[in-house]
Chain A
Amino acid sequence: MSHAHAGSHAASVETQPDVYTNPVWRYLVHAATIVDLELRKLRRDPSELIMRAVQPALWLLVFGQAFGRLRAVPTGGVPYLAFLTPGILAQSVTFISIFYGIAIIWERDMGILQKYLATPMRRSALVLGKQLGASTRAISQAVVILVLSWLVGVRLHVGWNVIAVLILVILGAAFFAGMSMVLAALLKTRERMMGIGQVITMPLFFSSNALYPISIMPAWLKVVATINPMTYLVDGLRGLLLGTGTHAVWADALILAFAGTLMLALASYLFPRRLAG
């Protein structure tokens, strides 16, 4: 079976072979390499992260402050600004991840994607690496927003639960980045991805529990909110940071992990077929 590899290994029988032989380890190295690549790009040009912090800051400072005065939203006994913070956190995780598909198409147009796909890396290792790359960006956003909210006077439960918050952020970003890559594989062009990005981000946001609880929604919107994964991200974050989630945090995490895995499988299937050429 491995007759073709015999030659390259023969020279180093006593020492370690030059290439990884354990497939699981190799898979992890590949996924980690893609994450590393994303981190290196980010470190060279962190301006994107700074610009991306502007919008959530406006939501908290302007919308949150003004809307909170109305006391129109039943927040379960917490100030509206505190109620809003997990919603804005989830929103920014979603938005940062959803534009990942555009980056992938850009890499395809540049030929970078094809070059990587011609290496022995498993397709799903590439997708997983990209998903976790989105997660690292999202984590840096989360930190910014948590600090910002503290500065404007929001007092959240912050302690060891921050680790759980970050895990939720990682799962949420991985899901939305995966979804975005599935869309990229289906749509194939940057222009269409830009369009769909505009079209779906706001509805995702407004049809979730980010701004108001599900309980005040009309029946049809309740249905949409229930199948909107952003709802589970917000709910989990509220549970951790305010103690007012409607589901158990582990259930929210499980749903996000399941949805993210589904996107991983779907993207790994679609990618090489639709974007490799």
Chain B
Amino acid sequence: MSQGDHPPMSDSVVVEGLSKRFGAYQAVDDVSFRTQAGECFGLLGPNGAGKSTTIKMLATLLRPDAGRALVAGFDVVAEPQRVRSAIGYVPQMLSVNSALTGYENLVICARLQGLRPRARKVRIDEVITMLGLEDAAHRLVRTYSGGMVRRLEIGQAILHRPKVLFLDEPTVGLDPVARQSVWEHIERLRRDYGMTVFLTTHYMEEAESLCSRIAIMSRGRVAALGTLAELRDRVGNPEATLNEIFVHFAGQFQHEGGLRDVSRTRRIARRLG
């Protein structure tokens, strides 16, 4: 853990040759990229491309088979505890305790993040105001709309002001208004707190409006990486929409293991009501 190993703090996530297989299936295959501190980085790709698996490795939930990843300067394998203190993670699935109130959900997370009572109270109130959950805070989460649940989840993940916020499909299943509101909150977090936001999405307009740089994954590999302008250059069409770019880089592959992914998405949609 010598100082020399750590990259300059301007790179909030450094991934080099990261790989993960499940049985015989290579879910993430020799992936490398960097994110700059304070940017919004978007990971795109078809179902089963390996986006969630990549995020889970960065959030220290899955152990990489090969390669190396630093998050906020810490190695995800050698210093997982420090990585966990420096990140917020919102899984792809809706993962709140619906039998508890929004406030209780925040209290639990704040304690797990190690916040002392006084700081806990201040931060929770701050997050509730920021995400517009004042009226709903003391209601059971069971009564929340999908958009409110997602905002609550983002709130849970930012109580300790992480350096890097991982959002796995933050707006899946939301209506356009709810989605817009989640976008605004994400943008504010990045701007006001200088958080690096690392998100995955299937919505092209989401990546276009939020992300300064975009990586397109396909079959476990990074097929393209850059700003929208750079990606347009690479497909050789300065007018190309992100949709066209996506199809260019990821469209030629048909994903085989689709059932699991589709049923998972359906389940999320159902839970969102």
Give me the interface of A with B, judged by CB distance under 8 Å. Answer: 4, 8, 16-20, 26, 29-30, 33, 36-37, 40-41, 44-45, 109-112, 114-121, 272-273, 276-277
Contact = CB atoms under 8 A, between A and B. Distances in A.
B97 interface: yes
Interface stretch (B81-89, B178-186, B223-231, B254-262): B81-89
Given A110-B93, A112-B97, 16 more contacts: A8-B161, A16-B116, A19-B116, A33-B108, A37-B97, A41-B97, A111-B91, A111-B95, A112-B96, A115-B91, A115-B95, A117-B60, A118-B87, A119-B112, A120-B84, A277-B56
B116 A4 contact: no
Contacts of B53: 277
A120 B86 CA distance: 9
Contact of A33 (B62, B111, B118, B156): B111
A118 B116 contact: no
A118 B111 contact: no
Nearest to B22: A277
Contacts of A17: 116
B30 interface: no
B63 interface: yes
30 contacts: A4-B82, A4-B86, A8-B161, A16-B116, A18-B116, A19-B160, A20-B114, A29-B114, A30-B111, A30-B112, A33-B111, A36-B108, A40-B99, A44-B99, A44-B100, A109-B93, A110-B93, A111-B91, A111-B93, A112-B95, A112-B97, A114-B61, A115-B109, A117-B61, A119-B112, A120-B114, A121-B112, A272-B61, A276-B61, A277-B62
Contacts of A115: 89-91, 95, 109, 156-157
Contacts of B250: none
A4 B74 contact: yes
Interface in B209-241: none
Given A112-B95, A115-B156, A16 B112 contact: no
Q: Which 3 A-B pairs have the closest CB atoms?
A: A111-B95, A111-B93, A18-B119
Contacts of A276: 56, 61-62
B198 to A, nearest CB: 13
Query: How would you classify the secondary structure of chain A's contact residues: helix, strand, loop or mixed?
Result: helix
Interface residues of B, number: 44
Contacts of A273: 63
B59 to A, nearest CB: 5
Given A20-B116, A33-B112, A45 B99 contact: yes
Contacts of B119: 18-19
A4 B61 contact: no
Contacts of A45: 99
A117 B116 CA distance: 19
Nearest to A110: B95
Contact of B91 (A20, A26, A114): A114
B48 interface: no
A272 B84 CA distance: 14
Contacts of A111: 91-95
Given A114-B91, A119-B84, A277 B112 contact: no
Nearest to A30: B112
A26 B61 contact: no
A273 B112 CA distance: 20
Contact of B113 (A19, A37, A40, A109): A19
Contact of A118 (B60, B93, B108, B161): B60
B115 interface: yes
B100 A41 contact: yes
Contact of A16 (B91, B94, B118): B118
A265 B73 CA distance: 30
Given A114-B56, A118-B61, A19 B93 contact: no
B244 interface: no
A91 B81 CA distance: 39
A33 B106 CA distance: 12
